[in-house]
Amino acid sequence: MASALEGVRVIDFGQYMAGPLAAQLLADQGADVIRVDPPGGPAWDTPANATWNRGKRSIVLDLKTDEGRATARSLIASADVVVENFRPGVMDRLGLGAVAMTEANPRLVYLSLPGFASDDPRAEVAAWEGVVGAASGLYRRNRVATEDGPPVFTAIPLPSAYAAIQGAVAVTMALSARERDGVGQRVEVPMFDAMYGAVGYNGYKLHGDTSPPPGAGFNLTTQWECGDGQWIMFHTGNGRTEEVLTAAGVADWVAKGYVDRERLSKEPELVKEVMDAARALFKTRPAAEWEQLVNDAGGECAVCRPSAEWVDHPHARGSQTVVEIDDPVLGATRQPGIPARMSLTPGAVQGPRHALDADRDAILAGLSAAPVVGGGAPTDAALRNVLDGVRVLDLCIVLAGPTCGRTLGEYGADVIKIEAPGRPPMGSFHGDVNRGKRSIVLDLKTPEGLEVFWSLVDTADVVVQNFRKGVAEKLGVGYEQVRARKPDIVYGSLNTYGHVGPFAGRAGHEQIAQAATGMQDRYRKPNGMPETQKYAVNDYGTGYFGALGVALALYHRRRTGQGQHVDAALAYTATALQSSFFIDYDGKTWDEARGQESIGSGPLHRAYRASDGWFFLGAPGAAALDGIEGLSGVGSLAGDALASALEERFAAATLEEWTGRLNAADGVGAHHVVSNTDELMELPYALDHGLSITREHEGWGRVTTIGPAARLSRTPVRPGPMAPPLGAHSREILAEVGLGGRADALIASGAVHEA
């Protein structure tokens, strides 16, 4: 079996981005995706369609006609998966809704990706990308503006991307459940709900403790201007700062207290001294030289390059983070590669997009020969969680890797979090990404600790780690070493740049991936300093892509008995998240909205100020606004004249008045700009649907975290219990692998720690 989803048929009704991207992720893993477009082609005529529709067969259907709907029903009857991202109710009104189609085809997995959920009070709001972004807190206030200053727009369509990625995970999990019992199900991943996955630790709240963690304060992790006028992102998070300073010729900074975070938090004059010295130091070399020097010393650094450079970078090309596809419309293109890779079923772009309606005859001929779909009703066994009985060993730290483990736990896996001795006992990262897991603290640098690890491997189905390339092997727990012990193991490796290419051995965090791939460059401040996107979008996104890879590998193992190695990386994710404009071809112009002063992508997709605050407008055209009270006459305007007229009109009424009027108009959407995470986490809808969860934690009091977004009708996800104290389950886990009688000795030796 060359691809994990070989033999799986997907009908893609998606428009704009969320649906097409979800179906693209499935196509890249071997699914036969039939793309259904309306007459005239996709609703959004964008070069990105060359990426989102690659490898799919094409048919045009007019779903407003009886004939078109009849053909659509026949397609769905032949399918394993349906993907759609219309507003709730649209497919139902066409007779193609999730309930009707899964009743007609009980094996069907039906994925809906609406902007707002079918039971969200905002379900009827036209969910333009920026409208959902405003609703989900994506647009921070301009940091140099007044308290009521404008929001900062990001061109990266994160709500659609996060819904698509989590939707692909959910579909793969539902297919795995179907392998067990033969029955499909309905899946809904709203764009708004999916964004809680990006909010992540920003939504974490330890209600009884507002004090900063020990050592909080200034450090050298930031962007620095170099001698050639370019900027780098320098990060001190991996403990190699002293080695870097020595390589840079300023080893005396340690003795001066320049890296003493506790001292710096108390001495503002020392902070100024460090800043002045650092500014001078980084201007002594060009950016590329600093990038090389820091990484050679084992530290973390990346040039804040634009996406136009990353698309042709030796590592992006060498690692196939960027791939070349000959598109029938654009010609030779470079576009994002496969973001979740496996060693036995690696995934591959199945070819360029097909011309509109090019496959009509073959598709229709195939329908006449399609087998009749069998019935089948859910059994009690079918209602178990998808990954019940699957054990995951999670060796990961920080965000990306633990998010992968947390996601697997949400689908029912028994996730054992293996911590190294000496980590802090509690924090927002731990509280966010380690809920739903059991905890053991193991020293893998000791023979006894390794003995415990191998005993756990004997009981495990999945191992996940996010060490730098080569570190797991040095510890003796790399993929080949684990596979020798457990041949059918699914082993996930997550890192910054992937496992092939010239940067494969480099360390990095969220900020490094944002710098290397163009995210920070696009978000620059007026003074030219690059800026990080709001939310750790690459860390969390890589966690979900890692979970997708593991889910695909488990699905493959269920069908073949084979395990394999899964590879995910922050750089893969950052490139995929930018797919709406990350495509290079002859004549390409990198003209997407950019900078800290950007408030939208055009007069009909941007933020405006009402009399009492900011809201985001999304509209299909100026004519759609003409009949709205207070906006008569704007339909004849365009460009700056339209924007100026709207600014003047919108300033004359309140947020409530304008969002009410706009959302009542056909195709027009509006939402006030949420800039406070507390508002997001206290939203009644979020509380009612488990997107924001507050519970009592023994020892810490009330704790708030985000919850999972995906909704599966037969095998629902679960948030799991709150993150435990480190080592809380050490004795329990030792007993499960037959080492309970040695627990005291193992703890006394330091190989195992307990809470």
pLDDT at 302 over 60: yes
Handedness of CA 162, 175, 716, 108 (dihedral sign): positive
At 345, is the pLDDT very low, low, confident or very high (cuts 50, 70, 90)?
Answer: very high
What is the pLDDT, as a whole number, of residue 216?
A: 53
What is the pLDDT, as a whole number, of residue 296?
A: 97
Return mean pLDDT, the chain.
94
Question: Is residue 324 situated within a structural domain?
Answer: no
CATH of the domain at 351: 3.40.50.10540
What is the pLDDT, as a whole number, of residue 209?
A: 65
Question: Is residue 455 situated within a structural domain?
Answer: no
3-state secondary structure 186-246: EEECCHHHHCHHHHHHHHCEECCCCCCCCCCCCCCCEEEECCCCCEEEEECCCCCHHHHHH
> At which residue do the structure tokens 């104290």 appear?
725
Predicted TM-score (pTM) of this structure:
0.96
Question: Is residue 14 situated within a structural domain?
Answer: yes
What is the pLDDT, as a whole number, of residue 382?
A: 45
Please, what is the Cα angle at 527 between 525 and 531, to 5 degrees?
30
Task: Please give the Cα distance from 16 to 114 (Å, whole number).
Answer: 11
Q: Mean pLDDT over residues 543-549, rounded?
A: 98
pLDDT at 156 over 70: yes
- In degrees and rounded to multiples of 5, residue 100 shows phi and psi of -60, -40
Question: Is residue 440 situated within a structural domain?
Answer: no
Mark which of 642, 675, 708 sits at the end of a domain.
Answer: 675
Domain total in the chain:
2
Please tell me whether residue 35 adopts helix, strand or coil conformation: strand
Please tell me whether residue 605 adopts helix, strand or coil conformation: strand
Q: Tens of pLDDT along 371-416?
A: 544 444 444 444 579 999 999 999 999 899 999 999 999 999 999 9
Mark which of 675, 700, 721 sits at the end of a domain.
Answer: 675
- In degrees and rounded to multiples of 5, residue 336 shows phi and psi of -60, 140
- For the record, the structure tokens of 393 come out as 């060993």
pLDDT at 523 over 50: yes
Residue type, 621: G
Mark which of 379, 409, 441 sits at the end of a domain.
Answer: 379
Question: Is residue 421 situated within a structural domain?
Answer: no
- For the record, the structure tokens of 626 come out as 């003409």
> At which residue do the structure tokens 């005239």 appear?
40
Please tell me whether residue 590 adopts helix, strand or coil conformation: coil
Under DSSP, the state recorded for 15 is -
Residue bearing the bigger pLDDT, 206 or 417: 417
What is the pLDDT, as a whole number, of residue 379?
A: 47
Range of the domain at 67: 9-201+335-379
- For the record, the structure tokens of 47 come out as 């070069």
Please tell me whether residue 600 adopts helix, strand or coil conformation: strand
Q: Tens of pLDDT along 467-478?
A: 999 999 999 999
Q: Mean pLDDT over residues 21-30, rounded?
A: 98
What is the pLDDT, as a whole number, of residue 374?
A: 43
What is the pLDDT, as a whole number, of residue 208?
A: 82
Beta bridge partners of 657: none
Q: Judge contact between 398 and 509, C-beta under 8 A.
A: yes
Question: Is residue 122 situated within a structural domain?
Answer: yes
Question: Is residue 396 situated within a structural domain?
Answer: no
Q: Which residues contact 141 (CB under 8 A, 6 or more apart)?
A: 147, 149, 150, 151, 152, 675
Question: Is residue 80 situated within a structural domain?
Answer: yes
Q: Tens of pLDDT along 700-722?
A: 889 999 999 999 999 999 999 99
Residue type, 194: A
At 214, is the pLDDT very low, low, confident or very high (cuts 50, 70, 90)?
Answer: very low
